[in-house]
Amino acid sequence: MNILVIGGGGREYTLGWKLAQSPKCTKLYAVPGNPGMKKFAVCLEGIDLEDNAALVKAAQQYAVDLVVVGPEVPLTNGVVDAMQAAGIRAFGPSKAAAELEGSKSFSKSMMKKYGIPTAKYEVFTDADAARAYVKEQGAPIVIKADGLAAGKGVTVAQTEDKALAAIHDIMEDQEFGQAGSRVVIEEFMQGEEASLLAFTDGKTIRPMIPSQDHKCVYDGDKGPNTGGMGAYAPAPVMTDALIARAEKEVLQPIVAAMAKEGRPYKGCLYAGLMITDEGPKVVEFNARFGDPETQVVLPLLDSDLVDIMLACVDGTLDEQDIQWSKDTAVCVVMTSGGYPKSYQKGYPITGIEAAEKAGSLVVHAGTAEKDGQIVTNGGRVLGVVAKGTDIRAAVDKAYQGVAKISFQDEFHRRDIAHRALERMQK
């Protein structure tokens, strides 16, 4: 069958890389894809990812049998509904279901209504009321823009002043545009985070291997939040007992709740969890695969991703037997210096092939092609992924790959997977 991946970042690279390995995949297309994806996909340029009609037209033109949606914006924009209306199978939640990520206030209200463990919160549309609440609650406290802000709309404020500044930036300076017309203010949760992604067909859920992302830009989890500086899987903080608990207390209830609310959720459901003393609590739901979590989870999937995705679309996930590797995978993200603030683009990249020859999977995230040369074209430029029989082996191999690649102003964290390594030492 012909398959179309929507998106062009590291997550979509990895989705395409895995889908292309399926014997069921005849031809793989990507909109817009990226230069690295050309190894296994035909990249279609010039199509607006927010134009559902144009995306449907492309799917029809290339006789696509399955569409796989990577990023949140097309999902919250209803691309899955548009494909379905045109009779094309599409993996991902409908517009109504993707609200679980698209609106933090909706997501929090669902958790409250259905008793899913999460931080206590209030929603504000008025900056003065928000400030008064912060003064009453005190710090630490968490301020979030309600809508989509590319993972950057959250401030974990250790002081009241930082919280007040975040309210000003989001609501009065509109740093995230319309996404900040409402803020969600949350209780600070203490614990270690983990990402638990699951396949679901709206009834059955199948958790994937738990992973851990590194959201802060600097080593030691310092500095501002980014889209993600690296990841590893499995995350040992998620013991089998905790996975079972998260399945029972979080994943199953939210999928059942969405069905009950007339917004059945199909696709990949991403639960960002805080492992607190009281057990796993939801930090956020995302309506899609995580980036860079996908880069470490899919290399550990032994089963055919096409079969699983079709089962999610068709409602037959209960019949799927999903097999995972016993290995560990690590992804180190190489970024443009300055990210998540401003940075330069267009610098030539060298050493990608050498890293691949040494056994890394080099995932393109923010690259472009200029005069036959791969150049930097985003904040997160590449993800270097390696597998090993344990976390130490995987980390060492990933950093060996990173050492072979260079571009001007390159920056990466040197401590990816530090929590798992510390656990191993204990």
Contacts with ligand GLY by CB under 6 A lie at 151, 213, 228, 286, 290-291, 293
Which residue number, 273 or 374, has a Cβ lying nearer to ligand GLY? 273
Q: Which does 142 bind (CB under 5 to 8 A by kind): ligand GLY, ligand AMP, none?
A: ligand AMP
Q: How far is the CB of 6 from ligand AMP (least distance, A)?
A: 22
CA dihedral 178, 179, 183, 185 (to 10 degrees): -170
Q: How far is the CB of 383 from ligand AMP (least distance, A)?
A: 18
CA distance 104 to 170: 14
Write the DSSP assignment of 271-314 as a string of letters: EEEEEETTEEEEEEEESS--TTHHHHHGGGB-S-HHHHHHHHHH
Positions 391 through 420 that interact with ligand AMP (CB under 6 A): none
Closest to 15 measured CA to CA, from 65, 59, 68:
68
Write the DSSP assignment of 14-47 as a string of letters: HHHHHHTTSTT-SEEEEEE--GGGGGTSEE--S-
Which residue number, 190 or 342, has a Cβ lying nearer to ligand AMP? 190
Terminal Cα distance for the chain, rounded: 48
Which residue number, 148 or 309, has a Cβ lying nearer to ligand GLY? 148
Q: Does 137 bind ligand AMP (CB under 6 A)?
A: no
Q: How far is the CB of 253 from ligand GLY (least distance, A)?
A: 21
Which residue number, 121 or 411, has a Cβ lying nearer to ligand AMP? 121
Which residue number, 153 or 264, has a Cβ lying nearer to ligand GLY? 153
Q: How far is the CB of 84 from ligand AMP (least distance, A)?
A: 28
Which residue number, 247 or 284, has a Cβ lying nearer to ligand AMP? 284
Please state whether 101 falls in left (phi above 0), alpha (psi between -120 and 50) or beta.
alpha
The CA distances from residue 416 to 248, 299, 422, in Å, are 30, 17, 11
Which residue number, 250 or 313, has a Cβ lying nearer to ligand AMP? 250
348 beta partners: 375
The 142-171 contact track toward ligand AMP, x by CB under 6 A, reads: x-x------x--x-x---------------
Contacts of 122 by beta carbon, 8 Å cutoff, 6+ apart? 133, 184, 185
Closest to 290 measured CA to CA, from 273, 270, 305, 275:
270
Which residue number, 51 or 221, has a Cβ lying nearer to ligand AMP? 221
Q: How far is the CB of 12 from ligand GLY (least distance, A)?
A: 12
Q: Which does 193 bind (CB under 5 to 8 A by kind): ligand AMP, ligand GLY, none?
A: ligand AMP
> 103, 286 in Cβ contact below 8 A?
no
Q: Which does 228 bind (CB under 5 to 8 A by kind): ligand GLY, ligand AMP, none?
A: ligand GLY
CA distance 321 to 294: 20
Cis omega (within 30 of 0) for bond into 140: yes
The 277-306 contact track toward ligand AMP, x by CB under 6 A, reads: ------xx----------------------
> 392, 421 in Cβ contact below 8 A?
yes
Determine the interface stretch with ligand AMP among 21-29, 183-191, 249-257, 319-327 (rule: CB under 6 A).
183-191
Cis omega (within 30 of 0) for bond into 253: no
> 20, 9 in Cβ contact below 8 A?
no
**Other beta carbons within 10 Å of 151:** 18
Single residue of 16, 93, 267, 272 touching ligand AMP by CB under 6 A: 272
Which residue number, 205 or 268, has a Cβ lying nearer to ligand GLY? 268
Q: Which does 156 bind (CB under 5 to 8 A by kind): ligand AMP, ligand GLY, none?
A: ligand AMP
Closest to 329 measured CA to CA, from 302, 280, 304, 296:
296
Q: Which does 186 bind (CB under 5 to 8 A by kind): ligand AMP, ligand GLY, none?
A: ligand AMP
CA distance 264 to 230: 31
Q: How far is the CB of 216 from ligand AMP (least distance, A)?
A: 8
Which residue number, 66 or 287, has a Cβ lying nearer to ligand AMP? 287
Q: How far is the CB of 335 from ligand AMP (least distance, A)?
A: 18
Binding site for ligand AMP (CB under 6 A): 119, 142, 144, 151, 154, 156, 186-189, 193, 215, 225, 272, 283-284
